Protein backbone atom coordinates (compact mmCIF):
# COMPACT_ATOMS: atom_id res chain seq x y z
CA UNK A 1 0.00 0.00 0.00
CA UNK A 2 2.79 2.36 0.99
CA UNK A 3 4.69 1.74 -2.24
CA UNK A 4 1.44 2.25 -4.18
CA UNK A 5 0.89 5.65 -2.51
CA UNK A 6 4.47 6.70 -3.15
CA UNK A 7 4.20 5.71 -6.81
CA UNK A 8 0.97 7.68 -7.20
CA UNK A 9 2.34 10.71 -5.42
CA UNK A 10 5.43 10.55 -7.64
CA UNK A 11 3.16 10.33 -10.69
CA UNK A 12 1.18 13.36 -9.54
CA UNK A 13 4.44 15.26 -9.01
CA UNK A 14 5.60 14.44 -12.55
CA UNK A 15 2.20 15.48 -13.92
CA UNK A 16 2.23 18.76 -12.02
CA UNK A 17 5.76 19.49 -13.21
CA UNK A 18 4.69 18.77 -16.79
CA UNK A 19 1.65 21.03 -16.39
CA UNK A 20 3.81 23.84 -15.03
CA UNK A 21 6.27 23.40 -17.87
CA UNK A 22 3.47 23.79 -20.42
CA UNK A 23 1.86 26.78 -18.72
CA UNK A 24 3.28 30.26 -19.27
CA UNK A 25 2.89 32.35 -16.14
CA UNK A 26 2.58 35.99 -17.15
CA UNK A 27 3.10 38.58 -14.41
CA UNK A 28 1.28 41.88 -14.32
CA UNK A 29 2.81 44.46 -16.67
CA UNK A 30 5.07 47.18 -15.28
CA UNK A 31 3.25 50.13 -13.75
CA UNK A 32 4.16 53.24 -15.67
CA UNK A 33 3.91 56.74 -14.23
CA UNK A 34 2.19 58.23 -17.27
CA UNK A 35 -1.21 59.53 -18.34
CA UNK A 36 -1.68 56.77 -20.91
CA UNK A 37 0.35 53.91 -22.35
CA UNK A 38 0.18 50.68 -24.35
CA UNK A 39 2.04 47.96 -26.20
CA UNK A 40 0.71 46.73 -29.57
CA UNK A 41 1.84 43.79 -31.69
CA UNK A 42 2.31 45.21 -35.19
CA UNK A 43 1.33 42.01 -37.01
CA UNK A 44 -1.88 41.12 -35.17
CA UNK A 45 -2.88 44.58 -33.92
CA UNK A 46 -3.43 43.11 -30.44
CA UNK A 47 -2.80 45.23 -27.36
CA UNK A 48 -0.60 43.40 -24.85
CA UNK A 49 -0.69 46.20 -22.28
CA UNK A 50 -3.14 49.10 -22.12
CA UNK A 51 -3.83 51.88 -19.64
CA UNK A 52 -6.22 54.80 -20.33
CA UNK A 53 -5.68 54.30 -24.06
CA UNK A 54 -8.92 56.02 -25.09
CA UNK A 55 -8.41 59.18 -23.03
CA UNK A 56 -8.05 62.21 -25.33
CA UNK A 57 -4.77 63.99 -24.64
CA UNK A 58 -2.62 66.70 -26.25
CA UNK A 59 -0.04 64.87 -28.40
CA UNK A 60 2.61 67.60 -28.75
CA UNK A 61 5.08 66.63 -31.50
CA UNK A 62 3.64 63.13 -31.80
CA UNK A 63 1.37 65.06 -34.16
CA UNK A 64 4.22 64.99 -36.66
CA UNK A 65 3.70 61.25 -37.19
CA UNK A 66 0.48 62.21 -38.99
CA UNK A 67 2.20 65.16 -40.70
CA UNK A 68 4.81 62.81 -42.16
CA UNK A 69 2.16 60.19 -42.97
CA UNK A 70 0.33 62.77 -45.12
CA UNK A 71 3.58 63.81 -46.82
CA UNK A 72 4.40 60.15 -47.52
CA UNK A 73 0.94 59.67 -49.03
CA UNK A 74 1.40 62.68 -51.32
CA UNK A 75 4.81 61.37 -52.38
CA UNK A 76 3.44 57.92 -53.19
CA UNK A 77 0.61 59.42 -55.23
CA UNK A 78 3.11 61.45 -57.27
CA UNK A 79 1.70 64.83 -56.22
CA UNK A 80 5.05 65.97 -54.83
CA UNK A 81 8.67 64.88 -55.13
CA UNK A 82 11.61 64.67 -52.75
CA UNK A 83 13.51 66.93 -55.18
CA UNK A 84 10.91 69.71 -55.03
CA UNK A 85 12.15 73.10 -53.84
CA UNK A 86 9.88 74.54 -51.15
CA UNK A 87 9.72 78.31 -50.58
CA UNK A 88 9.78 79.12 -46.87
CA UNK A 89 7.03 81.52 -45.79
CA UNK A 90 7.33 84.03 -42.99
CA UNK A 91 4.79 82.05 -40.98
CA UNK A 92 6.90 78.88 -41.24
CA UNK A 93 10.06 80.81 -40.36
CA UNK A 94 8.46 82.41 -37.29
CA UNK A 95 6.93 79.19 -35.90
CA UNK A 96 7.95 78.73 -32.28
CA UNK A 97 9.23 75.63 -30.50
CA UNK A 98 11.73 73.11 -31.85
CA UNK A 99 13.16 74.28 -35.14
CA UNK A 100 15.13 73.18 -38.18
CA UNK A 101 16.31 76.78 -38.66
CA UNK A 102 15.10 77.31 -42.21
CA UNK A 103 15.19 80.91 -43.47
CA UNK A 104 12.33 83.03 -44.77
CA UNK A 105 12.02 83.38 -48.57
CA UNK A 106 14.69 80.72 -49.11
CA UNK A 107 14.00 77.52 -51.04
CA UNK A 108 14.63 74.25 -49.23
CA UNK A 109 14.56 70.81 -50.81
CA UNK A 110 11.54 68.80 -49.67
CA UNK A 111 13.86 65.90 -48.85
CA UNK A 112 15.66 68.07 -46.28
CA UNK A 113 12.41 69.36 -44.82
CA UNK A 114 11.25 65.78 -44.31
CA UNK A 115 14.40 64.98 -42.34
CA UNK A 116 13.95 68.24 -40.46
CA UNK A 117 10.56 67.05 -39.25
CA UNK A 118 11.50 63.43 -38.55
CA UNK A 119 14.94 63.83 -36.97
CA UNK A 120 14.98 67.42 -35.68
CA UNK A 121 11.24 67.69 -34.93
CA UNK A 122 11.25 71.08 -36.62
CA UNK A 123 7.99 72.99 -36.25
CA UNK A 124 9.15 75.39 -38.96
CA UNK A 125 9.75 72.47 -41.35
CA UNK A 126 6.31 71.01 -40.53
CA UNK A 127 4.56 74.28 -41.41
CA UNK A 128 6.60 74.69 -44.59
CA UNK A 129 5.58 71.21 -45.77
CA UNK A 130 1.94 71.77 -44.78
CA UNK A 131 1.77 75.02 -46.75
CA UNK A 132 3.51 73.50 -49.77
CA UNK A 133 1.07 70.58 -49.94
CA UNK A 134 -2.19 72.34 -49.05
CA UNK A 135 -1.63 76.08 -49.41
CA UNK A 136 -2.32 76.79 -45.75
CA UNK A 137 -1.69 74.90 -42.54
CA UNK A 138 -5.40 74.87 -41.66
CA UNK A 139 -6.27 73.14 -44.95
CA UNK A 140 -3.46 70.66 -44.30
CA UNK A 141 -4.98 69.96 -40.87
CA UNK A 142 -8.26 69.09 -42.62
CA UNK A 143 -6.29 66.64 -44.75
CA UNK A 144 -4.76 65.14 -41.59
CA UNK A 145 -8.24 64.63 -40.16
CA UNK A 146 -9.46 62.92 -43.32
CA UNK A 147 -6.59 60.44 -43.11
CA UNK A 148 -7.34 59.92 -39.41
CA UNK A 149 -10.97 59.14 -40.22
CA UNK A 150 -9.96 56.71 -42.97
CA UNK A 151 -7.58 54.89 -40.63
CA UNK A 152 -10.22 54.51 -37.91
CA UNK A 153 -8.70 57.02 -35.48
CA UNK A 154 -12.07 57.75 -33.90
CA UNK A 155 -10.98 60.03 -31.08
CA UNK A 156 -8.52 62.40 -32.73
CA UNK A 157 -8.70 65.95 -34.04
CA UNK A 158 -5.80 67.84 -35.59
CA UNK A 159 -5.68 71.62 -35.78
CA UNK A 160 -2.08 72.07 -36.92
CA UNK A 161 0.92 70.18 -38.32
CA UNK A 162 3.21 70.72 -35.34
CA UNK A 163 1.43 69.77 -32.13
CA UNK A 164 1.69 73.26 -30.69
CA UNK A 165 -1.00 73.73 -28.01
CA UNK A 166 -4.62 74.08 -29.08
CA UNK A 167 -7.63 73.09 -26.98
CA UNK A 168 -9.19 71.28 -29.94
CA UNK A 169 -6.01 69.43 -30.94
CA UNK A 170 -5.99 65.98 -29.36
CA UNK A 171 -5.60 62.24 -29.87
CA UNK A 172 -5.34 59.02 -27.85
CA UNK A 173 -2.76 56.31 -27.29
CA UNK A 174 -4.97 53.87 -29.23
CA UNK A 175 -5.24 56.22 -32.20
CA UNK A 176 -1.49 56.85 -32.20
CA UNK A 177 -0.85 53.09 -32.24
CA UNK A 178 -3.24 52.72 -35.18
CA UNK A 179 -1.43 55.55 -36.98
CA UNK A 180 2.05 54.18 -36.28
CA UNK A 181 0.97 50.74 -37.46
CA UNK A 182 -0.41 52.14 -40.72
CA UNK A 183 2.66 54.33 -41.27
CA UNK A 184 5.13 51.45 -40.86
CA UNK A 185 2.99 49.23 -43.10
CA UNK A 186 2.16 51.74 -45.84
CA UNK A 187 5.37 53.75 -46.17
CA UNK A 188 8.34 51.69 -44.93
CA UNK A 189 10.85 53.65 -47.02
CA UNK A 190 9.89 56.91 -45.31
CA UNK A 191 9.54 55.26 -41.91
CA UNK A 192 13.18 54.08 -42.22
CA UNK A 193 14.28 57.71 -41.68
CA UNK A 194 13.10 57.56 -38.07
CA UNK A 195 16.22 55.61 -37.07
CA UNK A 196 18.51 58.44 -38.27
CA UNK A 197 20.29 59.68 -35.15
CA UNK A 198 21.35 63.13 -36.33
CA UNK A 199 20.79 65.59 -39.15
CA UNK A 200 22.67 68.76 -40.08
CA UNK A 201 21.06 71.73 -41.82
CA UNK A 202 22.50 75.24 -42.17
CA UNK A 203 25.62 73.94 -40.41
CA UNK A 204 23.51 73.18 -37.31
CA UNK A 205 23.66 69.55 -36.17
CA UNK A 206 20.74 68.27 -34.13
CA UNK A 207 20.26 64.83 -32.61
CA UNK A 208 17.16 62.69 -32.70
CA UNK A 209 15.37 63.07 -29.35
CA UNK A 210 14.45 59.37 -29.20
CA UNK A 211 16.99 58.12 -26.63
CA UNK A 212 16.09 54.48 -27.34
CA UNK A 213 17.91 54.67 -30.67
CA UNK A 214 21.14 54.74 -28.66
CA UNK A 215 20.07 52.36 -25.88
CA UNK A 216 18.42 49.51 -27.80
CA UNK A 217 19.59 48.36 -31.23
CA UNK A 218 16.23 46.71 -31.91
CA UNK A 219 14.49 50.12 -31.82
CA UNK A 220 14.11 51.81 -35.22
CA UNK A 221 11.68 54.67 -34.46
CA UNK A 222 9.55 56.57 -34.09
CA UNK A 223 8.77 60.03 -32.49
CA UNK A 224 9.01 62.06 -29.29
CA UNK A 225 6.84 64.93 -28.12
CA UNK A 226 6.78 67.48 -25.34
CA UNK A 227 4.77 70.50 -24.26
CA UNK A 228 3.84 71.65 -20.77
CA UNK A 229 0.28 70.40 -21.26
CA UNK A 230 1.23 67.06 -22.88
CA UNK A 231 4.19 66.18 -20.70
CA UNK A 232 6.91 64.02 -22.21
CA UNK A 233 5.64 61.53 -24.79
CA UNK A 234 7.14 58.83 -26.97
CA UNK A 235 5.88 56.45 -29.64
CA UNK A 236 8.53 53.77 -30.14
CA UNK A 237 8.87 50.65 -32.25
CA UNK A 238 11.31 47.75 -32.26
CA UNK A 239 11.89 44.46 -34.06
CA UNK A 240 13.28 41.37 -32.33
CA UNK A 241 13.24 37.90 -33.95
CA UNK A 242 10.88 39.14 -36.70
CA UNK A 243 8.36 40.38 -34.14
CA UNK A 244 7.60 44.11 -34.23
CA UNK A 245 6.08 45.87 -31.24
CA UNK A 246 4.81 49.44 -30.99
CA UNK A 247 4.73 51.27 -27.66
CA UNK A 248 2.94 54.51 -26.87
CA UNK A 249 3.69 56.48 -23.70
CA UNK A 250 1.96 59.83 -23.04
CA UNK A 251 2.30 62.27 -20.18
CA UNK A 252 5.46 61.28 -18.32
CA UNK A 253 7.44 63.80 -16.29
CA UNK A 254 10.74 63.82 -18.20
CA UNK A 255 12.68 62.83 -21.31
CA UNK A 256 14.46 60.06 -19.43
CA UNK A 257 11.20 58.85 -17.86
CA UNK A 258 9.49 58.42 -21.25
CA UNK A 259 12.48 56.45 -22.56
CA UNK A 260 12.64 54.19 -19.48
CA UNK A 261 8.89 53.59 -19.56
CA UNK A 262 8.95 52.70 -23.25
CA UNK A 263 11.91 50.36 -22.74
CA UNK A 264 10.16 48.60 -19.87
CA UNK A 265 7.02 48.07 -21.94
CA UNK A 266 8.96 46.75 -24.94
CA UNK A 267 10.99 44.37 -22.78
CA UNK A 268 7.83 43.08 -21.12
CA UNK A 269 6.13 42.45 -24.47
CA UNK A 270 9.09 40.56 -25.90
CA UNK A 271 9.72 38.57 -22.73
CA UNK A 272 6.23 37.17 -22.31
CA UNK A 273 4.59 37.14 -25.77
CA UNK A 274 5.22 35.80 -29.25
CA UNK A 275 3.60 36.47 -32.61
CA UNK A 276 2.72 33.91 -35.28
CA UNK A 277 1.37 34.02 -38.80
CA UNK A 278 -1.12 31.16 -39.02
CA UNK A 279 -2.56 31.59 -42.51
CA UNK A 280 -2.05 33.69 -45.63
CA UNK A 281 -4.70 35.47 -47.67
CA UNK A 282 -6.27 33.00 -50.11
CA UNK A 283 -5.39 29.86 -48.14
CA UNK A 284 -7.91 27.02 -48.29
CA UNK A 285 -9.10 26.28 -44.76
CA UNK A 286 -11.65 23.55 -45.53
CA UNK A 287 -13.84 22.16 -48.26
CA UNK A 288 -17.48 21.37 -47.68
CA UNK A 289 -20.28 19.69 -49.62
CA UNK A 290 -22.18 21.91 -52.04
CA UNK A 291 -25.73 21.10 -53.07
CA UNK A 292 -27.46 21.53 -56.43
CA UNK A 293 -24.15 21.84 -58.29
CA UNK A 294 -22.26 19.67 -60.75
CA UNK A 295 -19.36 19.45 -58.29
CA UNK A 296 -19.37 17.68 -54.93
CA UNK A 297 -17.46 20.18 -52.77
CA UNK A 298 -16.39 23.81 -52.61
CA UNK A 299 -13.22 25.29 -51.10
CA UNK A 300 -13.62 27.83 -48.31
CA UNK A 301 -10.78 30.08 -47.24
CA UNK A 302 -9.84 33.51 -45.96
CA UNK A 303 -9.37 36.93 -47.53
CA UNK A 304 -6.70 38.20 -45.14
CA UNK A 305 -3.47 37.16 -43.48
CA UNK A 306 -4.09 35.82 -39.99
CA UNK A 307 -1.68 36.67 -37.17
CA UNK A 308 -2.06 35.92 -33.47
CA UNK A 309 -0.18 37.13 -30.42
CA UNK A 310 0.02 34.57 -27.63
CA UNK A 311 1.88 33.91 -24.37
CA UNK A 312 5.26 32.33 -25.05
CA UNK A 313 5.28 28.54 -25.27
CA UNK A 314 1.57 28.19 -26.06
CA UNK A 315 1.73 27.79 -29.85
CA UNK A 316 1.01 24.04 -29.83
CA UNK A 317 -2.23 24.68 -27.92
CA UNK A 318 -3.76 26.89 -30.62
CA UNK A 319 -6.93 25.29 -32.03
CA UNK A 320 -8.64 26.39 -35.27
CA UNK A 321 -12.40 25.77 -35.22
CA UNK A 322 -14.47 25.94 -38.40
CA UNK A 323 -18.13 26.92 -38.23
CA UNK A 324 -20.26 26.72 -41.39
CA UNK A 325 -23.28 29.03 -41.47
CA UNK A 326 -25.73 26.64 -43.22
CA UNK A 327 -25.76 24.10 -45.98
CA UNK A 328 -23.99 25.52 -49.03
CA UNK A 329 -26.30 25.54 -52.02
CA UNK A 330 -25.37 26.57 -55.58
CA UNK A 331 -25.06 29.07 -57.11
CA UNK A 332 -22.21 30.55 -55.08
CA UNK A 333 -20.15 33.60 -56.02
CA UNK A 334 -16.47 33.83 -55.19
CA UNK A 335 -16.11 35.87 -52.00
CA UNK A 336 -19.49 34.90 -50.53
CA UNK A 337 -19.27 34.43 -46.75
CA UNK A 338 -20.13 30.87 -45.75
CA UNK A 339 -18.85 30.54 -42.19
CA UNK A 340 -16.25 31.57 -39.64
CA UNK A 341 -12.78 30.43 -38.69
CA UNK A 342 -12.31 30.84 -34.94
CA UNK A 343 -8.78 30.65 -33.55
CA UNK A 344 -8.86 29.55 -29.93
CA UNK A 345 -6.30 29.12 -27.18
CA UNK A 346 -7.83 27.12 -24.35
CA UNK A 347 -11.09 28.99 -23.61
CA UNK A 348 -10.11 32.27 -25.27
CA UNK A 349 -10.96 33.24 -28.84
CA UNK A 350 -7.91 34.92 -30.37
CA UNK A 351 -9.45 35.79 -33.72
CA UNK A 352 -12.63 35.26 -35.74
CA UNK A 353 -12.23 35.46 -39.51
CA UNK A 354 -14.96 35.09 -42.14
CA UNK A 355 -14.73 31.96 -44.30
CA UNK A 356 -15.42 32.82 -47.93
CA UNK A 357 -15.94 30.84 -51.13
CA UNK A 358 -12.63 30.75 -52.98
CA UNK A 359 -14.31 30.12 -56.32
CA UNK A 360 -17.66 30.64 -57.98
CA UNK A 361 -19.86 27.59 -58.50
CA UNK A 362 -22.84 27.80 -60.82
CA UNK A 363 -26.07 25.91 -60.45
CA UNK A 364 -25.85 22.30 -61.59
CA UNK A 365 -27.84 20.44 -64.22
CA UNK A 366 -31.47 19.45 -63.80
CA UNK A 367 -30.75 15.89 -62.69
CA UNK A 368 -28.35 17.01 -59.92
CA UNK A 369 -30.75 19.69 -58.74
CA UNK A 370 -33.69 17.26 -58.53
CA UNK A 371 -31.58 14.61 -56.81
CA UNK A 372 -30.28 17.09 -54.22
CA UNK A 373 -33.77 18.50 -53.63
CA UNK A 374 -34.93 15.00 -52.67
CA UNK A 375 -31.88 14.40 -50.46
CA UNK A 376 -32.32 17.75 -48.72
CA UNK A 377 -35.87 16.78 -47.76
CA UNK A 378 -34.41 14.02 -45.59
CA UNK A 379 -31.53 16.12 -44.14
Residues 6+ apart with CB under 8 A from 194: 118, 210, 220, 221, 222, 223
Is 61 one of the annotated active-site residues of the chain?
A: yes
Catalytic residue chosen out of the listed positions 121, 126, 134, 237: 121
Distance CA 117, CA 126 (A): 6
Residue environment code for 216-249, b if the CB has 16+ CB neighbours within 10 A, otherwise e: beebbbbbbbbbeebbbbbbbbbeeeebbbbbbb
3-state secondary structure the chain: CHHHHHHHHHHHHHHHHHHHHCCCCCCCCCCCCCCEEEEEECCCCCEEEEECCCCCECCHHHHHHHHHHHHHHHHHCCCCCCCCEEECCHHHHHCCCCCCCCCCCCEEEHHHHHHHHHCCCCHHHHHHHHHHHHCCHHHHHHHHHHHHHHHCCCCCECCCCCCCCCCCCEECHHHHHHHHHHHHHHCHHHHHHHHCCEEEECCEEEECCCCHHHHCCCEEEEEEEEECCCEEEEEEEEEECCEEEEEEEEEECCHHHHHHHHHHHHHHHHHHEEEEEEECCCCEEEEEEEECCCCCEEEEECCCCEEEEEECCCHHHEEEEEEECCCEECCECCCCEEEEEEEEECCEEEEEEEEEECCCECCCCHHHHHHHHHHHHCC
Burial of 144 (0-12, 13-18, 19+ CB in 10 A): buried
Is 260 one of the annotated active-site residues of the chain?
A: no
Catalytic residue chosen out of the listed positions 64, 211, 223, 260: 64
Is 64 one of the annotated active-site residues of the chain?
A: yes
User: Is the Cβ–Cβ distance between 302 and 339 less than 8 Å?
Assistant: no
Catalytic residue chosen out of the listed positions 35, 36, 44, 61: 61
The catalytic residues are 61, 64, 121
Amino acid sequence: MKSFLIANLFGLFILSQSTLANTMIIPAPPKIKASSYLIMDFASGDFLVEENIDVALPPASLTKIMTVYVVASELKNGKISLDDEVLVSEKAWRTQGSRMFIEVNKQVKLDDLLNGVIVQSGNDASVALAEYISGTESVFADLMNKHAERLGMTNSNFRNSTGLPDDNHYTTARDLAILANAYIRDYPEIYARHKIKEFTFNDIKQHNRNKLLWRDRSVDGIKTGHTEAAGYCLVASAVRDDMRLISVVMGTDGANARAKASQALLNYGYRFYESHKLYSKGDTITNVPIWKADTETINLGIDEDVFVTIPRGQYEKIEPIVEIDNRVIAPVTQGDKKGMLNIQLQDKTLASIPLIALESVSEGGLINRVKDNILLMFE
